[in-house]
Structures are given as structure tokens and as C-alpha cells.
Amino acid sequence: MLINTMKKINIYKKKILIRLDLNVPMKNNKITSDERIKSSLNTIKIALQNKSKIIILSHLGRPTEGKFKKKYSLLPIVKYLRKKFKKTIIHFKKNIYEEIKINYGEILIFENVRFNVGEKNNDKKLSKRYASLCDVFIMDAFGTAHRKESSTYGVGFFSKISCAGPLLMSEIKSLQKSIKNPKRPLITILGGSKISTKFNILKSLCKISDTVIVGGGIANTFLAIKNNIGNSIYEKNFIKLAKKLKKKYNIIIPIDSKVKQTNINEIKYIFKKSNTIQKNDEIMDIGKKSIKKIEKIIKKSKTIIWNGPVGVFESSEFRDGTKRIAYSISKNKKAFSIAGGGDTLAVINMFNLKNKISYISTGGGAFLEFIEKKTLPAINMLKKKYLKKINV
């Protein structure tokens, strides 16, 4: 691939800016899964071995630009890294335009880039500011490589040298290998709350998959084509589009669900067929019959793409569907399984299945978009930067 890599660039005693993906699940300002951070530790270690001046950028969640909110602060992650690198001085700054002083072998982490006005719109001024901080920009955040933002895309064009980090390269090579001439049947399992954020990718995955299994709020939108879904999460504006997809492709939707019923005096949980949901019901997980049906499909598959839980897995009462699917994937030794996304990583970690999935990607949307398009904006940026240098 025609891009520069961290391995090829001399970073010894250089000022380097690393864009990492430290967007980990949080609850009450505490990290609930550190898998994404662990994936980035090797990159930091390489930089420290080269006695670089290390500046790290990352986002966390989806805050409103220009407005600080504690729940989106990177401070818990900074504290985590300070424990991991006890002998290293790690600074933490909130203002990206503030003057910085850092010694060789030290790390400076800036606050959540999404607090910065212009970040999501790839603002030129902000991109130039990021680039002015370094001699070398290292893009190593695969999870955000599908976004044209200042810290993932714009900065690369204005930096003196831009290259891909080891994690990004590992993701690209592994995914390229996995989607080239996949063994069939190929199935996709797609969960999550919103079909709107995944509709285009869902459409593309339908084209390459023999079977697509949907769960969560995405499944609810499909169920709403013909059924009452009560108080369940779904997207009314996407029902017609979901209907067209369902008619054209082999999409499996739940035939039963575990629902939460809210009455005047009590809340109870029962299993119901998908066509018997009432107005006070809320779908929280797939049902027992749906699980058995999906397990049979997984058992016969040769390639599995998995992104997202099929229920509210954070609650012990509603994680059985996701758990059973995860175990079924791990037991199919004949299939090549690819899993990606923050919640998916949390599920794999929760059930200790890390070594039983063929390939685990740190990305969610990026993981799916790469499978769809075979490239990503950040990769295109690195290619353009490399070719510009060669042409000169």
C-alpha cells in the first residue's frame, strides 16, 4: 500500500502527534472496558523508546462542540495511562491553542478533541493548529478513520510528515485479508439502536452477505413494518426503506422477544411473539426461539461479520441473546469470524471470548465502512500525502 508508516519514519527525538482512538465505554466517569486503550499501548511504547516528544489526541463520545462536559473528559483515560507508564511524565491540557512545553520522553495528552470548535467539520484553522504541534503526524485511530475531521483527516495534509501507525496498518492488512474471496455462506449480524446511522452500510452488507441478521433498535424498525412494537426504540422514517431491503434480501428479524411490561404497580419481563407486542411493552432482547434460529444459521456459516449487541446487554436480564450469539460464533471453528465496534468489544471482553474470535477490530463504523468500500478517508489522505511527496 502506497502510504508512509511509523515503522519507516525516523521519529527519534522528534515531536510527534499521535491520533489514537481512546473512545472507551464509560460509566460514572469510570472505564468499563479498556480494550481500545490496550490496543494503542504498543504505539505509545514505540514512541517512548525513540525518546520522542509525544502529543496525543483522541475523542470520547459525542459532546457538543465548544461546551465542556465532565462525562466526556479524557481525564479518566489520562489517569489510566499514568498507571500504565508510571516512570513517564504525562501532562494533560484542555486548551489546544495554549503554549506547550514538553521534554523528550514525556507525553502530553490534550482534552477531548470534540470539545474543539471546528473538529467535526474538518476546520482548516484547527487542522493547521494540530499540524503545527509536530514534526510527524501519526494516524493510528482506525475507529475514526472513516471520518473527515480535523484530528483524523485535515491535520494530515498540513503536517510535514504524515504516516500510519502500527494499529492502523494491522487493521488494514487483516481486514483486506478477511474480505478477499470470503468462504460462504457469509452471514452478517448487525445490532445497535439506530438504523439511520447504519442504513447505507446495512444495504452494502446485504449485497455481499448470504444472510443478514438484525437485532436491537435496528430489528425493531424492521418489526414495525407489520407489527406493533409498543414503547420499543425504532425509527419511523426508515420503515419504508427497511421494507424495501427486507423484500429484496435475506434479512432475519426476531420471531419473538423478551419484553419489559410497565403496569401501574409493577414492571415485569416476559417472552412474546413478535406479532403480539402491546402498547405498554418494550422490546429489550431477542427471544428464545429467535436465538435457536440464529444459532442454527451461525453453525452453518463459513464467514461471520459481527457488529453490535442484539439487546440491552448492559443489563443482566437482557443479555442472553447477545451472549448466546457470541458463544455460537466462538464455537464455530470452521468459520472465519470478524467482530468490530466498541459495544462488541465490551461483549467479547465480558464473556472472555477474545481468543475465540478470528479477528477483532477496534473500529465500529470504520470497520463496517472498510468492508463496504475497501478504503477509508484517513487512508485516502495518507495515500495522497505519500504520492504528493513522491511526485515532488
Is 384 one of the annotated active-site residues of the chain?
no
Share of the chain above pLDDT 70, in %: 97
pLDDT tens figures, 359-381: 999 888 898 889 888 899 999 99
In the predicted model, what is the mean pLDDT of residues 107-132?
A: 98
pLDDT (mean) for 219-247: 94
Q: What amino acid occupies position 392? A: V
> What is d(CA 372, CA 392) in angstroms, rounded to the nearest whole number?
33
Kindly state the DSSP code that residue 153 receives in the 8-state scheme: I
Cell of 298: 451461525
Q: Which of 217, 342, 363, 364 is catalytic?
A: 342
* % of the chain beyond a pLDDT of 90: 78
Taking the C-alpha atoms of residue 47 and residue 108, their distance in angstroms, rounded to an integer, is 12
For residue 279, is pLDDT > 50?
Answer: yes
Active site residue 192: no
Confidence band for 241, pLDDT divided at 50, 70 and 90: very high
pLDDT tens profile 295-330:
999 999 999 999 999 999 989 999 999 999 999 999
pLDDT at 292 > cutoff 70: yes
Q: Would residue 180 show up in a list of annotated catalytic residues for this protein?
A: no
Strands 30-31 and 136-139: unpaired
Residues 6+ apart with CB under 8 A from 382: 3, 4, 139, 156, 162, 163, 164
Supply the pLDDT for residue 192.
84
DSSP alpha helix (H) spans, the chain: 35-49, 75-84, 124-132, 155-158, 166-179, 199-208, 216-223, 239-248, 288-300, 320-331, 342-350, 365-373, 377-391
The pTM of the full predicted model, rounded to 2 decimals, is 0.81
Band (pLDDT 50/70/90 cuts) for residue 392 is very low
Looking at residues 89-116, what average pLDDT do you find?
96
- Calculate the average pLDDT of the chain: 93
Q: Is 361 helix (H, G, I), strand (E, B) or coil?
A: strand
Q: Which of 143, 215, 216, 365 is catalytic?
A: 365
Is-catalytic flag, 342?
Answer: yes
Neighbours of 199 (CB within 10 A): 17
Q: What are phi and psi of 284, to 5 degrees?
A: -120, -20
Looking at residue 263, its pLDDT comes to 66
Query: 19, 36, 319, 385: which is the annotated catalytic residue?
Result: 36
